[in-house]
Amino acid sequence: MAVFKEIACVATQLTTWCTQQLAPLSIADWCLLRSQLEQHRINRVKQLRFRRSPVDYLASLEAQLL
């Protein structure tokens, strides 16, 4: 994992960013991207909870349905 951090560090030092490049072009597009990223994060959390304890995860889903 440390190798990827070093690569990212080197790659980011090679590029300089101006404020126009960092600012979102469209607030609506930015909000859409943020909502997509949040949904992806939620799905990953659910997957992790299932892998850690499938019985407890399925029991909680069953309780929500009842």
pLDDT in tens, 1-27: 555 555 566 656 667 778 887 777 889
pLDDT in tens, 34-56: 999 999 999 999 999 999 999 99
CB neighbour burial string for 42-66, b if at least 16 within 10 angstroms, e if fewer: eeeeeeeeeeeeeeebeeeeeeeee
Phi first, then psi: give them for residue 9, nearest 5 degrees.
-65, -45
Global pTM value? 0.58
Count how many Cα atoms sit within 13 Å of the Cα of residue 59 in the half-sphere of its side chain: 4
